[in-house]
Amino acid sequence: MKVTTLLLTAAWLAAAPGAWAQTPPAKPASAAKPAPSKPSIVIKQPAAAASAADKTLSLGTGKGGGPLLSRDELRACLTQEASIRTRLADAEAKRGVLNQEKTDLGAEQQALRNERASVDVLKKQAEDLSARMKDYGARVESWNQRVLEFNSNNKGTPQSERQRAEINKDREELEKLQKSLEAEKASFTGTSDATLKAYNAKATALDAKVVDWNQRNDQWNTATKALETERATWVDSCADRRYREDDETAIRKGK
């Protein structure tokens, strides 16, 4: 029976999404103090404080230029940001599970390699037993040939009787050797077959686990790469453009 080894291949892609820019808290507008007026003297009044509608913020640097985000565009950006954050957290959690599974698979592989040592010992014992069985078969064939020659040339002389005695003695030795080898073979076959069967079952199960892990790891890599592309697009179209503060306030209120 053939014993196959198992190799773990693992393709790793560590996604490293950039940090999200936080929306800066809105600063309250400071009230302008009116300048005192005097009769017959015209004093220019200072500009009115900027209203909330004129304040602009950004989800990122806001240095990308381009027109201000409309309220609908801002709503879409905020929705997409929340979605990307959620999926990034989910991807990170799945990465943790995959990493732990990889560690567990490595431990199983090491245990199987340790167990393989005992399988190799059994293999060597099987080869030794096979060699001794082959030697026994050659001795039996030689003994049978001697019997044929003896029967053909037996003349009933004292010398023939001595040959008969030697042949019978060799037969007894061969019979004892046969019983010993058959007993060893029966015992060894039961032990080796059970051990090899258990080893192969573990190897097959581990191989299936590795295939499954590799498939899920590839899927994670593909999904994470797509998510990173989406995040980069979001930065360009959302985080690097400014928007009106009152639009965000309205959106937060469900308007």
pLDDT means per 10 residues, the chain with 255 residues, are: 26 30 31 33 33 72 78 92 95 96 95 88 87 93 91 84 89 92 84 85 95 97 96 89 89 86
> Which pLDDT value is given to residue 54?
67
The pTM of this model reads 0.57
Domain ranges within the chain, ordered by starting residue: 61-252
The DSSP secondary structure of the chain, one letter per residue, reads ----------------PPPPPPPPPPPPPPPPPPPP-BTTB--PPPPPPPPGGG-EEESS---S-SSPBPHHHHHHHHHHHHHHHHHHHHHHHHHHHHHHHHHHHHHHHHHHHHHHHHHHHHHHHHHHHHHHHHHHHHHHHHHHHHHHHHHHH----HHHHHHHHHHHHHHHHHHHHHHHHHHHHHHHHHHHHHHHHHHHHHHHHHHHHHHHHHHHHHHHHHHHHHHHHHHHHHIIIIITSEEEHHHHHHHHTT-
